[in-house]
A and B are shown apart, each in its own frame.
Chain A
């Protein structure tokens, strides 16, 4: 039910309310947004459940929270407080540098990041019910999200074009489950919803990601690191709905105040997208 919507990172109940009023279809509750995680350094973990509950009580839309890659116990804790979605996220420090969580063992749905089709299908095979591009979080630089979405979509088109007897080799190359490769071949899309994330900071960024095939957008640091969060958030929500209407996009982009300053993705030291493959 999140499709066509914008999911916003929030760190307080007040921010969550601003996001809901701006038209967010869900919020991601976390103690620090990715830009601040980057700035603070050190090990980054699941947020305090009390802080997450405060946000659950503040809004009526779904609330998501992040656990570390491979951290089964953090995921169980989030399930215990009835979080609506768990993001097994490369934004936090990985707890397991090889394996992801077996998400089929949980009732709560999971969203996971991916940089290409193989990664997306591996996560879906493990039980993820939603995929987002990894992008490079906390940078305000959309270049990695574009790269990941373009790559995923072009690999999907390639799988569609294959002969049926070529799918076995394709599954081997993608290192992905064969039944999921077959699904992509037959349907021309992932079997789950596919959002864009990482570096989206403006209505135009959001429209760009929709143009490239995203079914919705996560905005992390881009809103509450900007000059006028409420206005920017509402503008991005409208941009996702009417990404094809350039006149409206022009209007939405007017007078939003300063965007997050951001850092170029190639100037940073911690490369989060490399975490968990």
Chain B
């Protein structure tokens, strides 16, 4: 399997290590030419969604990637990656180019950024995930899924009554970091 990892900012190295461990051929997406390669899955890593979103636009990657996702390319997204996909971003602050109402807006959920507080609000817990028990889940300055906007969204894990990972059509997205379990 060929996995393209968005590597404009954030924890892309951890995401690459995770997919290499899964046996995938991994390459980085930093600019438009990188999208010429054959890709079976797009991985969107953690980081700062404001930074990643802005760089996607500045580097001309935004529309081509949206087209790929709309076309059914499987997507695996964590943390900031989930924020980039969400149909609605609950952000009480101001709105501007780095803090829009949505980025790709392709996943029918609402997310709240930094929902568990600042860096001090980062934590690890264990729970059920996609049929597996006692699965470690690391939340880092994590967002929360505050609303599910389609009945077809499948909830894979929950924490404090809210979904923390979901599957919908070609997209699997997490508020926590499954890719950090590989290296932890």
Contact = CB atoms under 8 A, between A and B. Distances in A.
Interface stretch (B93-101, B129-137, B162-170): B93-101
Contact of B50 (A3, A20, A79, A241): A20
A85 B119 contact: yes
Nearest to B113: A60
B54 A23 contact: yes
A56 B93 CA distance: 11
A8 B47 CA distance: 16
A25 B79 CA distance: 14
Interface in A58-96: 59-63, 79, 82-85
Interface in B97-141: 97-99, 113-114, 117-120, 140-141
B47 A25 contact: yes
Contacts, number: 104
B9 interface: yes
Interface residues of B, number: 34
Interface of A: 1-5, 20-26, 56, 59-63, 79, 82-85, 107-109, 234, 237-238, 240-242, 245, 248
25 contacts: A1-B48, A1-B79, A2-B10, A3-B13, A3-B47, A4-B7, A20-B99, A21-B96, A21-B97, A22-B54, A23-B54, A25-B10, A26-B48, A60-B50, A60-B93, A60-B114, A61-B51, A62-B118, A63-B118, A83-B119, A84-B119, A241-B7, A241-B55, A242-B31, A245-B31
Interface of B: 7-13, 30-31, 46-48, 50-51, 54-55, 58-59, 79-80, 91, 93, 96-99, 113-114, 117-120, 140-141
